[in-house]
Chains A and B, each alone.
Chain A
Amino acid sequence: MEVRELICIGCPLGCPLTVKIDGDQMDVSGNTCKRGDDYARKEVLSPTRIVTSSVHVAGGAIEMVSVKTKEDIPKGKIFEIMDEIRQVTIPAPVAIGDVVIADCAGTGVPVIATKNVAKA
Chain B
Amino acid sequence: MTAHDIVIIGGGPAGLAAAVAARKAGIQDILILERDNCLGGILNQCIHNGFGLHTFKEELTGPEYASRYIDMVEEEKIPYKLNTMVIDINKDKEVTVINREDGLTTIKAKAIILAMGCRERARGALNIPGYRPAGIYSAGTAQRLMNIEGYSVGKEVVILGSGDIGLIMARRMTLEGAKVKVVAELMPYSGGLKRNIVQCLDDYGIPLKLSHTVVNIEGKERVTGITLAEVGPDRKPIPGTEEHYACDTLLLSVGLLPENELSKGIGVSMSRITSGPEVNDQLETSAEGVFACGNVLHVHDLVDYVSEEATLAGTNAAEYVRAGKEREAGHMVELKAENGVRYTVPQSIDVNNMQDKITVRFRVADVYKDRYISVYYDGVQISKRKKKVLAPGEMEQVVLKKDSFADYPDLKNIVICTEVE
Which residues of A line the B interface, CB within 8 A?
6-9, 11-12, 14, 16, 49-54, 56, 62-64, 66-68, 75, 78-79, 82, 86, 96, 114-116
Pick the contact of A116: B48, B67, B194 (CB < 8 A). Answer: B67
B246 at interface by CB-CB < 8 Å: no
A-side binding surface: helix, strand, loop or mixed? mixed
Return the chain A residue nearest B40 by Cβ. A115
Is there contact, CB below 8 Å, between A11 and B197?
Answer: no
Contact status of A54 and B146, CB under 8 A, knowing A66-B63, A96-B64: yes
With A7-B198, A66-B61 as known contacts, state yes or no: A78 contacts B49, CB within 8 Å: no
Q: Which of A53, A63, A67, A86 contacts B148 (CB 8 A)?
A: A63
Interface residues of B (CB under 8 A from A): 44, 47-50, 53, 59-64, 67, 146-150, 172, 175-177, 193-195, 197-199, 203, 301-302, 388-389, 394
Structural contact, A114 and B388, CB atoms closer than 8 A: no
CB distance from B175 to the nearest CB of A (A): 5
Take A56-B150, A68-B49, A78-B175 as given contacts and tell me if A14 and B67 are in contact as well, using a CB distance cutoff of 8 Å.
Answer: no
Min distance, Cβ B46 to any Cβ of chain A, angstroms? 9
Q: When chains A and B are docked, how far (Å) is the Cα of A116 from the Cα of B199?
A: 27
Q: Do A12 and B302 contact each other (CB < 8 Å), given the known contacts A52-B47, A114-B63?
A: yes
Residue on A nearest B393 in the bound complex, by CB: A14
Task: Please give, as numbers and ranges, the residues of chain A lying within 8 Å of B62 by CB-CB distance.
Answer: 66
* CB-contact partner of B149 in A9, A63, A79, A96, under 8 A: A63
Minimal beta-carbon separation of A88 from chain B (angstroms)? 13
A52 and B61 within 8 A (CB): yes
* Contact (Cβ within 8 A) A9 B150: no
Pick from B67, B172, B301: contact of A115, CB under 8 Å = B67
Partner of A66, one of B147, B175, B176: B147
Q: What is the bound-complex CA distance between A113 and B175, given in angstroms?
A: 18
